[in-house]
Chains A and B, each alone.
Chain A
């Protein structure tokens, strides 16, 4: 007989600990526990069997790993929190007694904690940290836009604004912005740094206040962590790029709302003389480690520059008539692949994944009109190498003014003015292109300069699609456009039938009957193709017939297969069956959504056609 095992001494009962007992064990308040969990990145776990983990009780509780909690118990921050508790008591006592001097000295010796060891712990390598800065960036950009108040001290907001500007500067400097999306929630940006894709969301520029159903303490704790994290990440990014961190701030410009322009990037070499020796050693430390990275980056930048040069030369090509042919479909370069693509054509090559041009806008100069949100478009344009100016009402520091002759595009979001233009304005308009802001974002998402016509001032814009794509199997509006032609085809088919009834041309029937058995195998198809050629049927018509038959056959064939599959499902094990059902369920859901959207689209198209006829 083995040893008698006591209950609750091993297994899940020991591995898990409930939240209340964790708080008791750490001897801190729940608020402190939460703060610690946020800072240390500890989250509850779901035990496989709740009753085993909770002494036989199945009451709803949150569990933590006991080891996680044991690891929290040695946390220096916890010690500091305890000290802070004692400090708060002492301070309140001193204030209550009116001992102002001792209160002041207490306040001077207030315990503070640092988070750098936590950053190192949570992100042992730089890539780990970089992978996780999405949320940090979102938060910092959000808080940079909030008004300071009683709960949000102004220096916090200022620090957030500084961090967000530093990130934007880095992205602009390295041309690492890849995609952007104007959504109803805000603007999504996606950048690539050190092979990590970083996506962040920036709200539109409106004053927002923190709603009452949001716990600010939690947000501020997160923000505390994120500020530290971003500081270290930016330090590394800047030093690796050979820049000084933090970038010096020009207070005068900053006061005049120059935004990102208030900061100036400095090369490390130049600044080393001016910075104090201590700072310098740190930077050198950083560089010795990552010298290789720096070289790599330099190489990359050089390569990308070459690419961009090539691209810019190809722009000229795109403005040629070939581009104007695909005028309506400019947004969706992938849909012309249907033409039989055994040989690489220009279009099939075009759809291949190519290195995105990072200096797309370098030949152009933009001017933002005053209703354009400057931070968004200044950032996007400068990230893609363009020059950009703005009126004084949007802030200080514009490198060019409205009358500059080098301006090629004016980003404008106003309807066309009803009054007649003056001669000077007309001349200006002839020299410049007046486009709506969506053009910029669509250009960078497409990776090329799109035609300006659909985006000119006052035009109804083409739909703005997500550059991040849809979920797999979901409705794709770009393919739906292709199917639009199919819709027409169906219409024409009915017309064809009428025509067939009228003239008794045997040719078509022959073709059809021969095609029926053709679908079975490809060699027969080949012969049928030849036969059709001999008969003098033109290739497009032939293709159409084949396509129709194939579709019909595809509709018929599954009926049998589906039945067989249904029966074979009986032989699945329970586990597999459940899994299968789950998968089918999600598939069906997507399918039904797609069908609904397609039906809607068809209805809209029909409506439009009807409106067009009337």
Chain B
């Protein structure tokens, strides 16, 4: 290492200056011979210093150098003392004046040969050397002396002699068997001492001193090497700082300067430093997130001392305790304490806080607009029913069918007579004004439909009974009407049958005619079901019937004048429920369970399909103007169609609690009504405007209740009186009621 080398050289120079001992070089050689494995020169006690980083500052190294010198000086002094002390051990040299040179010289005493010298040999008689002595075991002699003569084996006594000898001789323990001489020999003092030393574990050599002072043979004062070992000039690296080291160091220095290496990072403090975080304007782009919803503020019941009425009764307490925590309206039970000091800790405080936090970070938040309005404002403002009179609002009379449900009824075109039929097969004719029965017909099967012919010049009823249609003439008709009716229903000359038909028109022969029996019957094909619906064309010549319950639906259109029946549809999709004639146009409405189809009869094509969105249509009626249609369904819905507008309902109403059975427009008044299985009849005001832009006005007027619900059936059919705002209804309880305004 260059600095060390420098130091050594410097030291050498110093030694040169301080002491001068030219003589000892001579003896040195000899001494080295003797003690070549002497202690390695430990130079000086100074520990090796870490090479200091010399980053260009010379002054510092100079200082250090000076310090080093001082240290070394002191060290050298101590060395001198040491060397003086060590010199005393060696044989003292006398200084004499040489005869030859005349200069003083050291003279050491002569070396005596002693123990470890070769010349000191005992004069042992046996000279066989160090051989295994058992070779002589069988021989009388034990070896040869220096002159080659046999050395005879000494006589040796037996064990008893040996023992006696030990007893006699007090020094026997100090003798040992000499193998060479084959006899016991007393040990010398030296040998005893040796044994003692071995026994003690000491070095057997007396002259050995384990604590000999160290002798500096090559170092120390006066022994410095003056001459360099090699003649090579000292390399530059000894004094020029290393470039590579500098580069490495500079890399670190740069890192420190740039702050990449922090020598002693200050310990991160837990303390937050607060500052004015809102001092700069918030960026307009950044929208603040919606604030968290606030907790509801406490109400009176949470007070520690609430008014007494807030305290729960024992039942309420029980109920509260049995409810799940989530279902409870309040998360606490109101309690009353006489004074504040008695109020205990609230045991669910931390849980409630925790749940609030769960709400804050786990619950999806939805912003709801809180409607701060009176719910009554949602109810549409409609004209008051009292301003829309007249409409039926009370039951004025009722007519009872005793034999079963009053299935159907019909009002005569002049509005004076009502015919109603029941399931017992009775058809009663009675006066609207009085409610007196004037005529009764009895049929075998239940009467499922009745419809009065709309013609004013003739007067007869059409009745649908199981697989048959009957025509009845009411009694007490004026003569001209009676004769015209009779000639229509049973003409003297029957029109020719155009083609063979499954239906048969049966007239009663003149002699068998009676007021009690139908004058004409149409027999529907067998197993075609009951004709549940009859719809007259406004002229009274055509009538359409629908029979249900058979294997297939049968829609028939019968022409009275020609006594001819035809099925307008070969195949109908779905089962037909109701059919209707348009009041002015040659259109025909067919309602299946879910759809209403409108056909043009003259062109024989489908015009439109209306979709009321019901599961099962029960009834249908068309407004006298022909532009509006109401449809009632078994799924409690009533739909108003504006035929000009759309094939979707203009208005869907659902107010009945059970299935709607019948709907009906009043022919002249702006009224319509619907009846339902819940036993109620709902009367509406329905004003229709000619102007296409104005929507129809529908105002609920009155709920008429009076029919009993029997076996789940309520009001089965309703009909309006033609000229009065009166309503007739037939119910499952067998009553037919008249509702007057």
Residues of A at the B interface (CB closer than 8 Å) are 34, 37-38, 41-46, 62-63, 108-110, 112, 114, 116, 119-126, 128-129, 131-132, 134-135, 138-139, 142, 155, 181-186, 188, 199, 203-204, 206, 208, 210-211, 213-215, 218-219, 222, 227-228, 231-232, 234-236, 239, 245-246, 282-283, 285-286, 288-289, 371-373, 413-414, 436-438, 460-461, 463-466, 468-471, 474-475, 477, 480, 564-565, 567-572, 576, 579-580, 583-584, 587, 597-598, 600-601, 604
8 CB contacts below 8 A, A to B, read A112-B268, A134-B294, A138-B353, A183-B303, A184-B303, A465-B307, A477-B310, A598-B309
CB distance from B641 to the nearest CB of A (A): 17
Q: Are B300 and A465 in contact (CB under 8 A)?
A: yes
Q: Are B375 and A584 in contact (CB under 8 A)?
A: yes
13 further A-B contacts with Cβ under 8 Å, apart from A236-B277, A470-B299, are A123-B288, A129-B278, A155-B270, A185-B332, A199-B294, A203-B346, A218-B358, A232-B275, A461-B338, A465-B303, A465-B307, A571-B698, A579-B375
When distances are taken between beta carbons in the complex, the residues of chain B under 8 Å from A206 are: 344-345
Task: Using known A-B contacts A44-B362, A464-B305, A466-B303, determine if residue A222 contacts B288 with beta carbons closer than 8 Å.
Answer: no
Residues of B at the A interface (CB closer than 8 Å) are 265, 267-268, 270, 272, 274-280, 282-283, 286, 288-289, 291-292, 294-295, 297-300, 302-310, 332, 334-335, 337-341, 343-346, 349-354, 356-358, 360-366, 371, 375-376, 378-382, 384-385, 653, 655, 698-703
When distances are taken between beta carbons in the complex, the residues of chain B under 8 Å from A125 are: 278, 282, 288
Closest A residue to B345 using CB positions: A206
CB distance from A251 to the nearest CB of B (A): 16
Q: Are B304 and A184 in contact (CB under 8 A)?
A: yes
Q: Are B363 and A239 in contact (CB under 8 A)?
A: no
When distances are taken between beta carbons in the complex, the residues of chain B under 8 Å from A239 are: 276
Q: Are A466 and B350 in contact (CB under 8 A)?
A: no
When distances are taken between beta carbons in the complex, the residues of chain A under 8 Å from B302 are: 181, 183-185, 466
Q: Are B307 and A477 in contact (CB under 8 A)?
A: yes
**In the A-B complex, the 5 residue pairs with the closest CB atoms:** A286-B276, A124-B282, A206-B345, A468-B297, A583-B375
When distances are taken between beta carbons in the complex, the residues of chain A under 8 Å from B304 are: 182-184, 464
Q: Are B309 and A597 in contact (CB under 8 A)?
A: yes
Task: Using known A-B contacts A185-B349, A468-B298, A580-B375, determine if residue A122 contacts B289 with beta carbons closer than 8 Å.
Answer: yes
When distances are taken between beta carbons in the complex, the residues of chain B under 8 Å from A128 are: 288, 291
Instruction: Out of B286, B292, B299, B338, name the residue touching A132 (CB < 8 Å).
Output: B292
Q: Are B360 and A135 in contact (CB under 8 A)?
A: yes
When distances are taken between beta carbons in the complex, the residues of chain A under 8 Å from B276 are: 235-236, 239, 282-283, 285-286, 289
Task: Using known A-B contacts A124-B286, A135-B356, A568-B380, determine if residue A245 contacts B274 with beta carbons closer than 8 Å.
Answer: yes
A571–B381 alpha-carbon span in the complex (Å): 10
Q: Provide the main secondary structure of the chain B interface.
A: loop
A477–B308 alpha-carbon span in the complex (Å): 10
A499–B313 alpha-carbon span in the complex (Å): 39
A110–B267 alpha-carbon span in the complex (Å): 10
A45–B339 alpha-carbon span in the complex (Å): 46
A477–B703 alpha-carbon span in the complex (Å): 41
A232–B375 alpha-carbon span in the complex (Å): 45
CB distance from B694 to the nearest CB of A (A): 16
CB distance from B280 to the nearest CB of A (A): 8
Closest B residue to A465 using CB positions: B300
Closest A residue to B333 using CB positions: A184
Task: Using known A-B contacts A110-B268, A121-B286, determine if residue A43 contacts B364 with beta carbons closer than 8 Å.
Answer: yes
Task: Using known A-B contacts A219-B357, A466-B300, determine if residue A572 contacts B379 with beta carbons closer than 8 Å.
Answer: yes
When distances are taken between beta carbons in the complex, the residues of chain B under 8 Å from A185 are: 298, 302, 332, 346, 349, 352
When distances are taken between beta carbons in the complex, the residues of chain B under 8 Å from A108 are: 265, 267-268
Q: Are A231 and B364 in contact (CB under 8 A)?
A: no
Task: Using known A-B contacts A211-B350, A436-B339, determine if residue A231 contacts B272 with beta carbons closer than 8 Å.
Answer: yes
Closest B residue to A116 using CB positions: B277
CB distance from B275 to the nearest CB of A (A): 5
Q: Are B305 and A289 in contact (CB under 8 A)?
A: no
Instruction: Out of A37, A460, A466, A583, name the residue touching B299 (CB < 8 Å).
Output: A466
A466–B302 alpha-carbon span in the complex (Å): 8
Q: Are B379 and A235 in contact (CB under 8 A)?
A: no
When distances are taken between beta carbons in the complex, the residues of chain B under 8 Å from A246 are: 274
A231–B271 alpha-carbon span in the complex (Å): 11
A234–B289 alpha-carbon span in the complex (Å): 21
When distances are taken between beta carbons in the complex, the residues of chain B under 8 Å from A199 are: 294-295, 297
Q: Are B375 and A564 in contact (CB under 8 A)?
A: no
When distances are taken between beta carbons in the complex, the residues of chain A under 8 Å from B310 are: 477, 597
Q: Are B268 and A204 in contact (CB under 8 A)?
A: no
Q: Are A120 and B277 in contact (CB under 8 A)?
A: yes
A37–B302 alpha-carbon span in the complex (Å): 33
When distances are taken between beta carbons in the complex, the residues of chain A under 8 Å from B341 are: 371-372, 413-414
Task: Using known A-B contacts A44-B364, A132-B292, A567-B700, determine if residue A282 contacts B275 with beta carbons closer than 8 Å.
Answer: yes
A291–B58 alpha-carbon span in the complex (Å): 59
When distances are taken between beta carbons in the complex, the residues of chain B under 8 Å from A132 are: 291-292
A204–B346 alpha-carbon span in the complex (Å): 8
When distances are taken between beta carbons in the complex, the residues of chain B under 8 Å from A231 are: 272, 274
A135–B294 alpha-carbon span in the complex (Å): 9
Task: Using known A-B contacts A245-B274, A470-B299, determine if residue A34 contacts B361 with beta carbons closer than 8 Å.
Answer: yes
When distances are taken between beta carbons in the complex, the residues of chain B under 8 Å from A474 are: 299
CB distance from B194 to the nearest CB of A (A): 55
Closest A residue to B305 using CB positions: A464
Q: Are A119 and B277 in contact (CB under 8 A)?
A: yes
